[in-house]
Structure 1
Amino acid sequence: MELLDTLIVGAGISGLSLAHALDKGATTASPLKILVAESQGRVGGNITTATGEGFLWEEGPNSFSPTPELMKLAVDVGLKQELIFADRQLPRYVYWQNKLQPVPMTPGAMVKSQLLSFRGKLRALFGALGFVAPAMGAQLSQQGDRETVSQFFARHLGTEVMQRLVEPFVSGVYAGDPQQLSAAAAFGRVTKMADVGGGLVAGALLSARNKPKKMPADPNVPKTQPGELGSFKGGLNALPQAIAAQLTDRLKLNWHLTRIDRTERDTYIAVFSTPDGQQEVEARTVVLTTPAYVTAELLEPLEPSVSSALQAFTYPTVACVVLAYPLSDVKGKLVGFGNLIPRGQGIRTLGTIWTSSLFGGRAPAGWQTLTSYIGGATDSGIGDLDSEQIVREVHRDLSRILLKPEAAQPKVLAVNVWKRAIPQYNLGYFDRLQQIDRGLKSLPGLYLCSNYVGGVALGDCVRRGFERASSVSEYLQNQQSKF
């Protein structure tokens, strides 16, 4: 049995980014022996691009923020000419009291906004300047002195900002419950600003002043602007496909990991169920990029404490519903990124991306594509509905918000029900991470790299893959003398 340097379990964007970074960082004199094993018959994980009848759509993530790591990765794998970006000036909307209200993106827009009352604006201003009551009380003590997202933003910026701006954002990013999400875990940068400056404005200024200088920009990487959203001409799946193409035979599909054992010489034996029968692989390091619930099952025999912490992560059900309508059925011309819906507005859908308005060429002439998300931590009942029922729910919501009264039934492009969609960064998050880190000390050479740690966005996944590659490389170099 050949001894691998690194076995990567999972070919989502985290695992593929990690593999690419290890591959590129290795010297030609001693290239690393890497294997990426994926249980599905395709790469990309939650990234799911589809086409049909002249439409192109996404059934998982819809776009990315152009972080430095993600942009560099795209260029490295030959996708520079495939990059596309939505106009960052496009407005975002919140549906509040039967009307689409643009999200205020500047102080001037906040003053003019009808989304908040005068009193709500004044409350937000004073809170941002630091006139904030301290976090205290019996409930906070019961929570380990950690605030929820709802508690933090209501305390700092007021209930209106919390309900009308933060809550729909939480639904859009995490499909989460702001009364359960940990503010420090889900909004780490914002809570740190409050801690540093006493108020959000002062904290932002101090953070900007103390921000380390940026490394010189890579001239080969296209420059982007804050607020832009990116994709590729052929959809997000272009990125995992390009990385996979470079891995060639070092990528195995339909390989399902059933067991991991540790050997006496500090390596790991991984047992896979494959189309060709059972396969065993020995590796000096193993990186599990699988979801928390899968990783928990794999690690239970090796380190029960890690398994227990991983089992505490919850993943709510979310349905991605992609519907197309003739432009004649849509109220006016949709110009913007899309709309989010706070709870309590009589709308079940969490939010809708105006897909064919965001990126050109994704719908035939005369059609509008709308990608809606429904379910999440505040609506577990969505998992009990079949596809037709889910479409009816979304169509009814769209009819209230975006469609004309006489709009016909939509062309249904996709209904993808993600039974376990997005890991929730709920209260107790940091305690779970500490328990995981303590337990992993007894398993040197075994690493975790998934979106239940350090952010759920695509850019977070790529950055995490790069960072984990550095840790793996350092470990391999230190252990070189043993082999």
Structure 2
Amino acid sequence: MSEPPAAGRLVVVGGGPSGLAAAWKASVEAVRAGASLEIVVLEAEDEVGGKARTEHAADLLIETGPQGFLDDQPVLREMIDACGLSGEVLAPEPAANRRYIYRGGRLRELSRSPLAFARSGLLGPIGLARLAMEPLVRSRQDGDTDGGAGDDESLFDFAARRMGRQAARRLISPVVLGIFAGDARQLSAAAAFPRLVAMERAYGSLFKAMRAGRRRGAPPPGHRTFLQGIQSLPRAVAALPGIEVRCSQRVTAIKRGGRGFTVASSAGDVAADAVVVAADLPAAADLVDGVSASAADELRQIASPPMAVVHTAFDAGAATHIEPAYGFLVARGEGIRMLGCQYETATFRGRGPDGTFLARSLFGGSVDPEAADLGDAQLVDLTLSELRRTAGIDAEPAWTGVARWPHAIPQYAPGHPQRVARIEAALDPIAGFHLAGNALHGVGLSRAIAVGAECGESAARELLN
């Protein structure tokens, strides 16, 4: 029996996790409708994955982009199942529950035990007393503001209001470095950490919300990866039937014309009935410019500072004094340029040979973009010097590697929710055009996949109905 004629062609720009999620979800919709839909993914690089990039060197598994993902999106679990990767999902080692912050010249454990936390020295007596008062702090509700951009509280101000300035400075600000590589004073609480804002609105207190979650038996989202690395997922999605992936085809422009779009790439023009843009910033802004100059201008206001990821592998004996843990973050003002360090071989099994200690150190971001521009040798020397000072590792590495991301993590500045509303107001009237990726609705891998899937589903339904 021959297939029905294609209902149209969907072109997805960007073969990273978000773009491939859009392509996969569109193919699912086509199968559900019993229809044929041509789905083409155009990827600029020579392989899929975007920043989800796994490399292998010297018997090591190297994650140059995201280390893992949060298991907090049902559509992500659905996609993993569709790819046959459910048996490949890897949970972290128990030791990864231990995390540290480097402050006051030493590593201090961010313990879940109230007594151990109080003894850690992360907060002083005044800071601890103020933190304990969090349930008594009046909540900020929607009626307290007029909804303008000036009312979009920064994450630092949100944390200071709820937990005290000492906790905001010593706890929240370092944690933000590990997620956004950004400054808590320059990030929107509502956009960057919507769950925290929702917890306050629902329960009037973060502590009360956490207690309610424990009473319900609701575990926090788990940190996961794959046995063969994070790039396993985009590679598996690209191999699914119903999706055509064309690598080494950089898209240079998108234009509206007639009832569809013309997608110009390095390999020539491609006609499309619908388009999902899942490119990173600032490239996404340039592509959106072809359909909405106002939306493109708004996207160009979202900074994506550079980052460098330095891997250093040490032989057995160099780090025997280090307690197995996820790693540590560095409070600003310590004279350390490193944002944080992840202990890869202590977090996920299979990252290196037995006895090897693989560290992954992060530099740059909005707090120190110049660090990402240092040469490879300078970055390695800086990493070794700072690992010696922070973690006490005084040995020559057996292997080193440097990965660079010129435009790493979008920074959701105060006013971001209002900017998102303006971008969506400009793009929503353009039938068949969708913006995926992590520029608007969350920088985490799982959230970017959820956004991509939503765009793919919407685009497919438009073409199939």
Q: TM-score, normalised by structure 1?
A: 0.87
- For the 8 Å contact 1:331–1:403, the answer to whether it is kept is no
Residue among 419, 437, 445 paired with 1:432: 419
Residue among 19, 22, 25 paired with 1:21: 25
User: What residue in structure 2 maps to residue 481 of structure 1?
Assistant: none
- The answer on 1:444 being equivalent to 2:416 is no
- The answer on 1:292 being equivalent to 2:249 is no
Report the RMSD for the aligned CA atoms in angstroms.
Answer: 2.8
User: What residue in structure 1 maps to residue 262 of structure 2?
Assistant: 269
Residue among 53, 73, 79 paired with 1:73: 79
- The answer on 1:60 being equivalent to 2:65 is yes
- State the 1:244 CA deviation: 1.0
- State the 1:88 CA deviation: 4.8
User: What residue in structure 2 maps to residue 334 of structure 1?
Assistant: 323
Q: Helix, strand or coil: the match of 2:358?
A: strand
- For the 8 Å contact 2:363–2:372, the answer to whether it is kept is no
What are the ranges of 5 or more consecutive residues in structure 1 without an aligned counterpart? Answer: 215-224, 479-483
User: What residue in structure 2 maps to residue 6 of structure 1?
Assistant: 10
Q: Helix, strand or coil: the match of 1:122?
A: helix
- State the 1:155 CA deviation: 1.4
User: What residue in structure 2 maps to residue 282 of structure 1?
Assistant: 271
Determine the C-alpha separation between the residues in 1 that align with 2:212 and 2:242.
47
User: Quick check: 392-401 or 465-474, which moved more?
Assistant: 465-474
Determine the C-alpha separation between the residues in 1 that align with 2:390 and 2:87.
36
Residue among 291, 304, 308 paired with 1:315: 304
Determine the C-alpha separation between the residues in 2 that align with 1:81 and 1:358.
19
In structure 2, relative to structure 1, the CA distance for the partners of 1:371 and 1:431 (3 Å cut) is same
- State the 1:408 CA deviation: 2.8
Determine the C-alpha separation between the residues in 2 that align with 1:454 and 1:297.
19
- State the 1:161 CA deviation: 1.3
Q: State the Cα deviation string for residues 254-307 of structure 1 (Å, max 9, x = none).
A: 11112222222x211212212xxx2x2222210000123112212324311011
- State the 1:40 CA deviation: 0.8
In structure 2, relative to structure 1, the CA distance for the partners of 1:40 and 1:94 (3 Å cut) is same
User: Quick check: 337-346 or 23-32, which moved more?
Assistant: 23-32
In structure 2, relative to structure 1, the CA distance for the partners of 1:30 and 1:178 (3 Å cut) is same
User: What residue in structure 2 maps to residue 229 of structure 1?
Assistant: 223
- State the 1:106 CA deviation: 4.8
User: Quick check: 454-463 or 410-419, which moved more?
Assistant: 410-419
User: What residue in structure 2 maps to residue 387 of structure 1?
Assistant: 376
- State the 1:249 CA deviation: 6.8
User: What residue in structure 1 maps to residue 182 of structure 2?
Assistant: 176
User: What residue in structure 2 maps to residue 403 of structure 1?
Assistant: 392
Determine the C-alpha separation between the residues in 2 that align with 1:114 and 1:259.
54
Determine the C-alpha separation between the residues in 1 that align with 2:265 and 2:140.
55
Determine the C-alpha separation between the residues in 1 that align with 2:138 and 2:421.
33
User: What residue in structure 1 maps to residue 334 of structure 2?
Assistant: 345
Determine the C-alpha separation between the residues in 2 that align with 1:302 and 1:465.
19
- State the 1:198 CA deviation: 3.3
User: What residue in structure 2 maps to residue 220 of structure 1?
Assistant: none
Q: State the Cα deviation string for residues 358-397 of structure 1 (Å, max 9, x = none).
A: 1122222332100010111011211431111111111111
- State the 1:410 CA deviation: 1.9
- For the 8 Å contact 2:53–2:64, the answer to whether it is kept is yes
**Identity between Structure 1 and Structure 2 (%):** 30
Residue among 164, 171, 174 paired with 2:170: 164
User: Quick check: 301-310 or 348-357, which moved more?
Assistant: 301-310
User: Counterpart amino acid of 2:102?
Assistant: Y
Q: State the Cα deviation string for residues 165-214 of structure 1 (Å, max 9, x = none).
A: 111111000001111111111111111222344332345567899x9x99
- State the 1:81 CA deviation: 2.1
- For the 8 Å contact 2:141–2:201, the answer to whether it is kept is no
User: Quick check: 236-245 or 460-469, which moved more?
Assistant: 460-469
User: What residue in structure 1 maps to residue 459 of structure 2?
Assistant: 472
Determine the C-alpha separation between the residues in 2 that align with 1:155 and 1:25.
45
- State the 1:141 CA deviation: 11
Residue among 40, 43, 55 paired with 2:45: 40
In structure 2, relative to structure 1, the CA distance for the partners of 1:93 and 1:467 (3 Å cut) is same
User: Quick check: 152-161 or 195-204, which moved more?
Assistant: 195-204
Q: Helix, strand or coil: the match of 1:323?
A: strand
In structure 2, relative to structure 1, the CA distance for the partners of 1:401 and 1:426 (3 Å cut) is same
- For the 8 Å contact 1:334–1:354, the answer to whether it is kept is no
Q: Helix, strand or coil: the match of 2:37?
A: coil
Q: Helix, strand or coil: the match of 1:23?
A: helix
Q: Helix, strand or coil: the match of 2:447?
A: helix
Residue among 241, 245, 250 paired with 1:251: 245
User: Counterpart amino acid of 2:228?
Assistant: G
In structure 2, relative to structure 1, the CA distance for the partners of 1:473 and 1:141 (3 Å cut) is closer
User: Counterpart amino acid of 2:15?
Assistant: A
Q: Helix, strand or coil: the match of 1:144?
A: helix
Determine the C-alpha separation between the residues in 1 that align with 2:453 and 2:113.
34
Determine the C-alpha separation between the residues in 2 that align with 1:401 and 1:393.
12
Q: Helix, strand or coil: the match of 2:70?
A: coil
- State the 1:156 CA deviation: 1.0
User: What residue in structure 2 maps to residue 97 of structure 1?
Assistant: 104
Superposed, 1:83-122 pairs within 5 Å as: 83-88=89-94, 90-107=97-114, 109-122=116-129
Determine the C-alpha separation between the residues in 2 that align with 1:327 and 1:129.
50
Q: TM-score, normalised by structure 2?
A: 0.91
Determine the C-alpha separation between the residues in 1 that align with 2:50 and 2:148.
37
- State the 1:72 CA deviation: 2.6
- The answer on 1:123 being equivalent to 2:130 is yes
- State the 1:239 CA deviation: 0.8
- For the 8 Å contact 1:315–1:423, the answer to whether it is kept is yes
What are the ranges of 5 or more consecutive residues in structure 2 without an aligned counterpart? Answer: 1-5
- State the 1:152 CA deviation: 1.2
Determine the C-alpha separation between the residues in 2 that align with 1:111 and 1:185.
30
- State the 1:128 CA deviation: 3.4
User: What residue in structure 2 maps to residue 455 of structure 1?
Assistant: 442
Q: Helix, strand or coil: the match of 2:383?
A: helix
User: Counterpart amino acid of 1:269?
Assistant: T
- For the 8 Å contact 1:9–1:36, the answer to whether it is kept is yes
Q: State the Cα deviation string for residues 94-118 of structure 1 (Å, max 9, x = none).
A: 1121222111325455445432222
- State the 1:63 CA deviation: 1.3
